[in-house]
Amino acid sequence: MSLSPVLFGRSYWISDPYAYRLPEAYGPYRWVRYYDDALLVDLRSGQVIDTVYDIFY
């Protein structure tokens, strides 16, 4: 699955993954909030690498 760049812009980044018990993201990867879920996204391609469901409910 890939996301549009609009949906993983800097305003959606999770700046402190540790606060949500998420592993650190390195290199081109960032955790982003998508509704109630946290997605690990490759910022170069928009591909979703990992998903943690219902973390923000």
- C-beta separation of 37 from 56 below 8 A: yes
Residue 43 structural domain: 5-52
Residues 13-51 have pLDDT tens digits of: 999 999 999 999 999 999 999 999 999 999 999 999 999
Residue 39 domain flag: yes
- C-beta separation of 28 from 43 below 8 A: yes
Q: What's the total number of domains in the chain? A: 1
In whole angstroms, what separates CA 54 from the centre of its chain? 13
pLDDT of residue 57: 83
Amino acid identity of 47? Q
Q: Which residue in the block uniquely carries the two structure tokens 């609009």?
A: 6
Centre a 10 Å sphere on the Cβ of residue 42 and count the other Cβ atoms it contains: 17
Residue 57 domain flag: no
pLDDT of residue 8: 77
Residue 17 domain flag: yes
